[in-house]
Structure 1
Amino acid sequence: MTTLQDALKLVPAGLRDPLIEEFNQALDEYRAADWEKVGLKAGKFCEIAYCVCAGHATGGYASSPSKPGNFPQACRDLEQHNGAKGRSLCMQVPKVLAALYELRNNRAIGHVSAEVSPNHMDAELFLRGMKWVMGEFVRNFSQLPLNDSHAVVEAVTARTFHMVWASGDLRRVLEPAKTASDKVMILLYAEGKPVPVPQLQTWVEYKNGTDFKRKVIRALHKKAWVQYDEKSGFVQILPPGQAHVEKSGLLVSVI
């Protein structure tokens, strides 16, 4: 199977690897319906993607990502190279990056506001923008056969489904085939805060409360994937549990 790593071999590993990592993490946060984290990942993605564009424009790639002091101006400065290096990575991609970066830094992401939260609709734009930028990188850097490059672009730009449906206090994992334990991990990952056991049981649609605590919650606690406080009745995800969700493919939907 041809991957982004294969398609972006011309990009130095010091930039390619963190770029793909931030992109994949943004996909995971989107699938978990954690809109704010999608925005946070988008900001880091833009900084790395700028370094890729700058390296292409100047012919000298940085060994690792760095944040320009004035991001919008740095993106505009790349326009002077469009004659020799092409419009895509010197003008078009930097303009998209600057727009995403502006939205990331000057909206509700990471801030408290009395207005209707724009995090979800912004996350939709962030994800589509990041996908488009990755597609452009594949188009410009890939040395794979044309059909393979096209397949990577199609895979990158394909629609991504979020895994958790939310409405008020209700939550539902949109993948019925997942086990109860998997659903609990996905829900706790998406919530990012302690959740009462009865609420988790309702969300997972597990009929027997005693069995739910014994077979699901306590089993996950024993693995150190969650912390179950029996006195308060709350459960929260632990760092090993977060890593499990991110690396095990739990957030990948087959819809």
Structure 2
Amino acid sequence: MTGPIEQGFVDVGIPRELIDELVEAYSEAKRRYRLGDLRPSAVEGGRFSEAAFRILEWESKGSYTPLGTTLSKVPTLVNQLESCTSSSDSIRFHIPRTLRAIYDIRNKRNIAHLADGIDPNTQDGTFVIGVLDWVMAELVRLFHSVEAAEAQRLIEALVSKEVPALQIIEERPVFLTKLTAGQRVLVVLYWQSPSFVTRHQLRDWLPESDRRNLGTNLGRLEGSRFIHRIDDRIYLTELGIKEVEAKDLLAPAD
């Protein structure tokens, strides 16, 4: 499926194989991070960076290192891109130097961390994800010709969250685990976030037994600040996201 992110890249001529590699790597890293999987192999950004460097090569030189062929070493790539004076400063300097930081983090994995009580996986994973977010937003801003805020909105809508507690059948969620009525509302909202869900959609998606007390359950969830309602639109708040993840409501059936 081609969404607005992918289509915007296609429209300016970026090769499809590079778009697919970039988006798949970004989405996978974000999903792993969201689920708390901070293993270096899961959130290290190498695959994303290699796709991004190839896009920078394509933009600045009109050609790129084929997929399956080893890229030049990062310092060489950075120097080559800096010499492309016809490209923007972001293509020449900002994005390449930012991507280089990911490699620096990955390559120091075997260096001992100080015994300061800080989990290096959490520390490094959080940094790398922040870098991926910034680079993706910058690429969207550059190639989609949109403002930074719009670029951020587009990338937030890009990542679909893993919700093993649901199976989607004919575009409708089917619950695979035993949850309370309120928890089912939260899981559906989590599945759709950061977008909203309408009350009509909830009534259509939830089991019939939940529909009779939907108003009461929404009131309780809003009172706990897990959801926020604007007219008919219902959003999951950051507190709601934490509630879903802390209570492990996404776990698949045993």
The TM-score by the shorter chain falls in which range? Answer: 0.5 to 0.7
Residue by residue, what CA displacement relative to the aligned partner does 1:231-250 show, whole Å, maximum 9, x if unpaired?
xxxxxxxxxxxxxxxxxxxx
Shift of 1:179: 5.8
CA distance in 2, matches of 1:23, 1:30: 11
> In the alignment, does 2:74 pair up with 1:77?
no
CA distance in 1, matches of 2:18, 2:162: 29
| Contact preservation (8 Å) 2:32, 2:43 | no
> In the alignment, does 2:24 pair up with 1:21?
yes
Q: Give the secondary structure class of the aligned counterpart of 1:33.
A: coil
CA distance in 2, matches of 1:11, 1:78: 17
Q: Which residue identity lines up with residue 37 of structure 2 in the other structure?
A: D
Residue by residue, what CA displacement relative to the aligned partner does 1:102-150 show, whole Å, maximum 9, x if unpaired?
1112225xx897955411111111111111111111122126xx47x85
Equivalent residue, structure 1, for 2:126: 124
TM-score, L = length of structure 1:
0.55
Q: Which has the higher contact order (CA 8 A, sep 6+)?
A: 1
> In the alignment, does 2:97 pair up with 1:95?
yes
| Contact preservation (8 Å) 1:14, 1:63 | no
CA distance in 1, matches of 2:19, 2:134: 16
Equivalent residue, structure 2, for 1:180: 177
Unaligned 5+ segments in structure 2 are 166-174, 184-246
Equivalent residue, structure 1, for 2:138: 136
| Contact preservation (8 Å) 2:74, 2:100 | yes
Residues 13 and 62 of structure 1, relative CA distance in 2, 3 Å threshold: farther
TM-score, L = length of structure 2:
0.55
CA distance in 1, matches of 2:68, 2:93: 20
Equivalent residue, structure 1, for 2:109: 107
> In the alignment, does 2:17 pair up with 1:46?
no
User: Which has the larger helix fraction?
Assistant: 1
Shift of 1:18: 0.7
| Contact preservation (8 Å) 1:43, 1:100 | yes
CA distance in 2, matches of 1:75, 1:181: 52
- Aligned counterpart in structure 2 of residue 58 of structure 1, from 57, 61, 64: 61
Q: Which residue identity lines up with residue 137 of structure 2 in the other structure?
A: G
Q: Which residue identity lines up with residue 105 of structure 2 in the other structure?
A: L
| Contact preservation (8 Å) 1:47, 1:65 | no
CA distance in 2, matches of 1:181, 1:62: 50
Q: Give the secondary structure class of the aligned counterpart of 2:14.
A: coil
Shift of 1:3: 2.4
Q: Give the secondary structure class of the aligned counterpart of 1:39.
A: coil
Residues 139 and 179 of structure 1, relative CA distance in 2, 3 Å threshold: same
CA distance in 1, matches of 2:130, 2:113: 25
1:146-165 mapped onto 2 (5 Å cutoff):
146=146, 151-156=150-155
CA distance in 2, matches of 1:204, 1:127: 22
Instruction: Report the count of equivalent residues.
Output: 168
Equivalent residue, structure 2, for 1:199: none
CA distance in 2, matches of 1:152, 1:77: 27
Equivalent residue, structure 2, for 1:251: none
Structure 1's consecutive aligned runs of 4 or more residues displaced over 6 angstroms after TM superposition are: 111-114
Unaligned 5+ segments in structure 1 are 165-172, 184-202, 206-214, 218-255
Shift of 1:152: 4.0
Equivalent residue, structure 2, for 1:86: 88
CA distance in 1, matches of 2:113, 2:94: 32
Q: Give the secondary structure class of the aligned counterpart of 1:85.
A: coil
Identity across the alignment (%):
23
CA distance in 2, matches of 1:73, 1:181: 54
